[in-house]
């Protein structure tokens, strides 16, 4: 290997732009380039200005090239050459520093170039892209495969280590000797537990890396283009299996996840610390919505009913992002709502009611499926406890949303001391009826009740009449069509 020196410590920092470092290919044994290979090379020196000179490419690796030039060609050590490589159907424009120029092969002079990255100053936007990079879980690394554009019937395999909005960093075997910056690859990528995505990428850089005593070729790749569905798939993987700490963080990078539900852990609050987090979230959600003044003390978000209720928490990577309080009254026990309003005579028995209150979602995690997920968790808890009806109060602007998913107005309005400037509407929901599709349109049932229906039905948690069973089965058949219209509506709202 012309110009190479022995590297005793493959993990030490190498100065690839220094002429004192004489290695061309480092740990990689380069590929011999034959005349029949679909690879051509041209170079320029400072003396040739804009004239590209075609040259014989002798050997190639991701880190360096060896060229055969005329014996009379004078190229100085440490001189920087521009290099153009035609690889299959793509062209790469590179720079290399001359580290060897004294060997002769078949009457030709062998010039060894070590490829290096440009030292031009990065722009602010490039720096931001480098900072917005998410580390993949070591237990759920995405993997990718691409046809080798140079070698027939050969495939390149990659393990993706981190991802940004513009590309990713991956590891591959040192046997892949013809990967160079500028090369285009068609990747088929598997994101664990999420799905498969096919997209074209371009290699931006290559380097050696070591992990657990093993050497790898590290490859930085940039997306050529990403569709909305591809961005959502990547975002869904990142929200579940990366160090991303915020849904808003991914959405701001254009990688909006399909669902937050799969990345959230739902649990019943048992510790004081969890309860304090729930109070803080109640305060934050209500203050941001303008329902309470910011001068309120967080302690006002608690009352005596907290000790009598079960409180659901939704945790996203150590941060509480959703909560709701569930009351299970017995016998003649009064609901919290009865402190403010008299219930209608036709209301069901107390032991059939689940009282929902103090619901809150974090402002940064709204406009996703977190709220519907809280409703689903609440419904399953109610049905498992043999509670047929859910009762709650809400403000006027939210009444229509609740009615779309099956709630009915009870004909009562009132004011609560916690929200003195806001009228509350009393609502009631027949849970088995809504889950079975009664009084709910196809789109709303698909978005909210379909997962609950599949769970409670398969676990025989409740029965239903023949008409509702038939309607639910029809809705299940039509749900793929409903999902299409939901997606279409989402696209229109984002464009607006």
The CATH number of whichever domain residue 289 belongs to comes to 3.40.630.30
Same domain assignment for residues 266 and 409? yes
The verdict on residue 439 lying in a domain is no
Same domain assignment for residues 194 and 45? no
Contact 49, 29 (CB under 8 A): no
Listed residue (158, 180, 234) closest to 61, CA to CA = 180
Cα separation, 385 vs 308, whole angstroms: 15
Handedness of CA 11, 173, 142, 169 (dihedral sign): positive
The verdict on residue 417 lying in a domain is yes
Same domain assignment for residues 292 and 214? no
The verdict on residue 23 lying in a domain is no
Cα separation, 235 vs 230, whole angstroms: 9
In the numeric block, the tokens 């959502």 are attached to 232
Cα separation, 277 vs 279, whole angstroms: 5
Same domain assignment for residues 241 and 268? no
* Both tokens assigned to 72: 């009379």
Radius of gyration in angstroms for the set of CA atoms belonging to the chain, rounded to a whole number: 32
Cα separation, 179 vs 371, whole angstroms: 46
The verdict on residue 483 lying in a domain is no
How far from 250 is each of 133, 161, 164, 247, CA to CA, in Å? Answer: 10, 17, 10, 5
Cα separation, 93 vs 86, whole angstroms: 9
Same domain assignment for residues 207 and 291? no
Same domain assignment for residues 228 and 171? yes
Residue 258 three-state SS: coil
- Residue 370 lies in domain: 261-432
Same domain assignment for residues 80 and 164? no
Same domain assignment for residues 204 and 81? no
Residue 420 three-state SS: strand
Q: Going by C-beta distance under 8 Å and a sequence separation of 6 or more, which residues neighbour residue 48?
A: none
Listed residue (229, 233, 115, 126) closest to 183, CA to CA = 115
Query: For every one of its 496 residues, what pLDDT tens digit does the chain have, with 9 covering 90 and above?
Result: 444 433 334 434 444 444 444 578 888 888 888 887 888 889 887 666 678 888 898 999 888 899 988 888 888 888 888 888 888 777 888 888 888 888 888 888 888 988 875 444 444 444 444 458 999 999 999 999 999 988 888 899 999 999 999 999 999 999 998 898 888 999 999 999 888 999 999 999 998 888 888 999 999 999 999 998 899 999 999 999 999 888 888 888 999 887 887 888 999 999 999 999 999 999 999 999 999 888 899 999 999 999 999 999 999 888 899 999 999 999 889 999 999 999 999 999 999 999 999 999 999 888 778 899 999 999 999 999 999 999 999 999 999 999 999 999 999 999 999 998 899 999 999 999 898 888 888 888 888 888 888 888 777 776 655 555 666 666 666 666 655 554 545 544 444 4
* Both tokens assigned to 87: 């690889």
- In the structure, how many helices (H) and strands (E) does the chain have? 10, 21
Cα separation, 402 vs 86, whole angstroms: 61
Same domain assignment for residues 96 and 140? no
Listed residue (49, 36, 44, 90) closest to 67, CA to CA = 44
Cα separation, 143 vs 473, whole angstroms: 38
Of the residues 115, 147, 171, the one at which a domain ends:
115
Based on the structure, what is the number of domains in the chain? 3
Same domain assignment for residues 58 and 177? no
Of the residues 199, 234, 252, the one at which a domain ends:
252
Cα separation, 412 vs 337, whole angstroms: 11
The verdict on residue 419 lying in a domain is yes
Q: Going by C-beta distance under 8 Å and a sequence separation of 6 or more, which residues neighbour residue 219?
A: 62, 158, 169, 170, 171, 172, 179, 203, 205, 206
pTM for the structure as a whole: 0.72
Same domain assignment for residues 391 and 287? yes
The verdict on residue 489 lying in a domain is no
Of the residues 404, 432, 460, the one at which a domain ends:
432
DSSP 132-157: SEEEBPTTS--EEEEE-SSSTT-EEE
Same domain assignment for residues 267 and 300? yes
* Both tokens assigned to 266: 């739902």
Cα separation, 115 vs 121, whole angstroms: 18
The verdict on residue 220 lying in a domain is yes
The verdict on residue 203 lying in a domain is yes
At 202, which CATH number? Answer: 2.40.10.220
Handedness of CA 404, 410, 414, 419 (dihedral sign): negative
Q: How many CB atoms lie within 10 A of CB 231?
A: 19
Listed residue (77, 82, 97) closest to 17, CA to CA = 97
């Amino acid at each position: 290997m012309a110009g190479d020196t022995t590297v005793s410590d493959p993990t030490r920092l190498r100065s690839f732009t220094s002429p004192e470092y004489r290695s061309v290919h480092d740990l990689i044994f380069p590929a011999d380039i034959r005349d029949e290979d679909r690879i051509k090379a041209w170079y320029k020196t400072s003396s040739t200005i804009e004239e590209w000179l075609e040259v014989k490419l002798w050997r190639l690796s991701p880190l360096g090239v060896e060229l055969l030039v005329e014996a009379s060609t004078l190229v100085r050590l440490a001189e920087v050459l521009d290099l153009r490589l035609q690889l299959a159907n793509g062209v790469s424009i590179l720079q290399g520093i001359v580290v060897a120029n004294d060997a002769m092969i078949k009457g030709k002079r062998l010039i060894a170039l070590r490829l290096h990255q440009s030292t031009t100053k990065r722009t602010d936007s490039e720096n931001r892209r480098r900072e917005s990079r998410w580390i993949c879980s070591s237990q759920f690394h995405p993997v990718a495969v691409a046809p080798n554009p140079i070698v027939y019937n050969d495939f390149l395999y990659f393990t993706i280590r981190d991802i940004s909005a513009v590309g990713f960093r991956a590891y591959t075997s040192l046997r892949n000797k013809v990967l160079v910056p500028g090369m285009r690859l068609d990747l088929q990528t598997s994101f664990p537990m999420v799905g498969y995505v096919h997209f074209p990428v371009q290699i931006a850089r290559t380097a050696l890396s070591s992990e657990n005593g093993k050497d790898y070729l590290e490859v930085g790749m940039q997306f050529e283009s990403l569709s909305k569905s591809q961005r959502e798939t990547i975002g869904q993987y990142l929200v579940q299996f990366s160090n991303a700490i915020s849904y808003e963080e991914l959405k701001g990078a254009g990688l909006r996840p399909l669902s937050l539900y799969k990345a959230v852990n739902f649990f019943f609050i048992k510790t004081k610390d969890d309860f304090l987090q729930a109070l803080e979230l109640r305060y934050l959600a209500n203050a941001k919505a303008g329902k309470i003044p910011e001068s309120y003390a967080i302690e006002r978000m608690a009352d005596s009913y907290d000790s009598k209720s079960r409180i659901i928490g939704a945790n996203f990577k150590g941060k509480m992002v959703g909560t709701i309080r569930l009351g299970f009254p017995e016998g003649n026990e009064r609901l919290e709502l009865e402190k403010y309003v008299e219930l209608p005579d036709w209301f069901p028995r107390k032991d059939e009611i689940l009282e929902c209150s103090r619901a809150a979602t974090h402002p940064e995690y709204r406009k996703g499926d977190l709220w519907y997920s809280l409703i689903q968790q609440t419904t399953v808890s109610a049905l498992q406890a043999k509670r047929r009806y859910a009762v709650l109060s809400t403000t006027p602007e939210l009444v229509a949303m609740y009615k779309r998913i099956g709630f009915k107005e009870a004909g009562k309005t009132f004011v609560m001391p916690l929200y003195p400037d806001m009228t509350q509407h009393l609502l009631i929901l027949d849970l088995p009826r809504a889950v079975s599709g009664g009084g709910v349109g196809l789109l709303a049932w698909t978005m909210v009740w379909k997962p609950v229906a599949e769970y409670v039905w398969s676990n025989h948690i409740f029965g239903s009449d023949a008409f509702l069973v038939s309607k639910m089965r029809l809705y299940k058949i039509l749900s793929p069509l409903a999902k299409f219209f939901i997606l279409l509506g989402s696209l229109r709202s984002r464009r607006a």
